[in-house]
Amino acid sequence: MAICSFPKTSSLIGKASTSCLRRFTIHFRRPDTLKQKQNAPYKGEYGFDWLRDEYIYPIEKIKYDNHLTNARKKIKNKILPLCLKPKKLKEEYKKDVENPIKPYEQDYYPAWLSIFACDVQGNNADAGSELHKDGVYLDLQLDEIDEIINDGTEIFFKTSDPCLKITPNKIAISEFLNTSKEKRKLNEKIGKPEIHFYKLENAVKIICQGDTLKEHGQIKVFAKLGSTEIEVGQLMVYQNDIIGKANIFVVNVITKYDNNNNKIIPQSHPSLDNLFNSQSFNQAMIKVEIKAIEDFDLFALKEKEEDVKKFLDDINNSIFVDENSRTQPSVVRNNLCDLYNHYGKHKPKDNISINDEGHYNTYLLFTNKVIEWKNKDTVKGIAYYSGTPKRDFEWGNMFVIFGNALTEDHTIVHEAGHSFSLPHSFEWSLSPHIFYHGYTENYMDYSQHQYLDSKRKPRLERNKYSGNMYSFFKWQWDLMRKDKSIEILQKE
């Protein structure tokens, strides 16, 4: 079982410290709704990642976990940290932090924000974007160590770069006191320790304007009373002068015609450009270009190509099944991959396979085929991979979305994330950090987890974030940018 290290305090809440300046820490947090978008819910418009309490402390109940990929014994109704190795995860959130702080001997893990620069001129203008030209608003959370009072204390901000701007530049402590004090428990098993805190919603607006960040930026938070100043918080801002580029070819796989001899084209997502560039991969400073939309007409090819005819006969007659009467999505994927390598209009040049190195293309294949399993569950999508975990495993450059998920945001980005080198967040053999299956809002998690019914049989229930799973971790931003299909655009 994980051993949790809780925040330490040297004086009780309600008992003033010997310093004139009351002790507290400030944390940047992502609002549930976005002020810059008329209070619409967050849907991945910018990257924001932080070390959440439930990742490292026993707060959430794991109702049942017997997922094969986490190589653990069965977990039944236990209150645990959501991350299986909290200590390792804490170290992850210290990476790339310049001049880390430990205010009042409190462990401090700054949140990460990723936004594009706007109004960029000169030879790096291509790194800019209008996506965040109105800035982003963030909440401020004040965690008490001493009980704070209206004593004239202010917090103010210092940014690492002139292009990184925050407004207002200072906030009186009285503004926090005008909100309700809340409390949270860091160990739901024993009901303590408790952290008393205030949250100031949409407290600050942050924008990167006029230039780009040549390295990770930083916003420091200081508490000031009289001549006393102490650094009590930080926000890290992701480097945005070197942009990644992904080229996606959309392939509509045609396997049938209707009675009027018209192609039956898969009803694909209505706005892939917005999904990829404003709700997902923008978080990793990656710009996606839809290079082409192709109708891959296997039905027309079957009259002259025997391998195409055999594939269509097999898929329509449910030949691709295993001994448990389950259709094998990997076999369907591999056949489509081979057929596209032979007959695809936009396959890589020089006889390079779509899953080989030597090009920057990613192929998204939509098919009306629905993959049904024996228990009536369905497979929504699958990405290409090869090799064995922890040995020679490698993600490919293509993924397939099946007929029951053609317009699903989460499924499409989830499978694209695999193609860009991201494993499942719960995958023991591949993921740098392992989380319990189906409890986070991360794109690479699942929207369901297991529980035990009244007869102690495993059933599925919805992840509480289901329908609102639009975020990536900062370490996933880093992984995607290293993927072989992502072209990193260096400025001249």
pLDDT at 267: 83
pLDDT at 2: 39
Whether pTM exceeds 0.75: yes
| Among 416, 426, 407, 358, residue whose Cα is nearest residue 384 | 416
Residue predicted with more confidence, 463 or 390: 463
pLDDT class of 18 with cuts at 50, 70, 90: very low
Provide the percentage of residues in the chain whose pLDDT is more than 70: 91
Which residue, chain included where needed, has tokens 């269509």? 312
Which residue, chain included where needed, has tokens 């097999």? 314
- Tokens for 482? 């290293």
pLDDT at 12: 47
Instruction: Name residue 271's amino acid.
Output: S
How far is it, in rounded angstroms, from Cα 447 to Cα 440? 9
Residue 492 has pLDDT above 60, yes or no: no
Query: Of the given ranges (210-224, 275-289, 449-463), which has the lowest mean pLDDT?
Result: 449-463
Residue predicted with more confidence, 456 or 139: 139
Residue 345 has pLDDT above 50, yes or no: yes
pLDDT at 39: 86
Query: Do 143 and 158 form a contact (C-beta atoms < 8 A)?
Result: no
Q: 3-state DSSP: the chain helix, strand, coil percent, rounded to 5? A: 20, 35, 50
CA dihedral for 476, 243, 415, 336, sign (positive or negative): negative
| Among 444, 380, 448, residue whose Cα is nearest residue 414 | 444
Query: Do 266 and 408 form a contact (C-beta atoms < 8 A)?
Result: no
Residue 148 has pLDDT above 90, yes or no: yes
Residue 9 has pLDDT above 60, yes or no: no
- The single-letter DSSP state of residue 7 is P
How far is it, in rounded angstroms, from Cα 461 to Cα 84? 21
pLDDT at 36: 81
Residue 363 has pLDDT above 90, yes or no: yes
Query: Do 299 and 312 form a contact (C-beta atoms < 8 A)?
Result: yes
Query: Do 381 and 401 form a contact (C-beta atoms < 8 A)?
Result: yes
Residue 380 has pLDDT above 70, yes or no: yes
Q: Taking all residues of the chain, what is their mean pLDDT, rounded to a whole number? A: 90
- Tokens for 123? 């030879």
pLDDT class of 1 with cuts at 50, 70, 90: very low
Mean pLDDT of 360-372: 92
pLDDT at 319: 63
Q: pLDDT tens digit string along 177-212? A: 999 999 999 998 888 899 999 999 999 999 999 999
Residue 35 has pLDDT above 80, yes or no: yes
pLDDT at 147: 96
Please give the span between the terminal C-alpha atoms of the chain, in angstroms, as a whole number: 51
Residue 378 has pLDDT above 80, yes or no: no
How far is it, in rounded angstroms, from Cα 318 to Cα 325? 10
Residues linked to residue 60 through DSSP beta bridges, in sequence order: 80
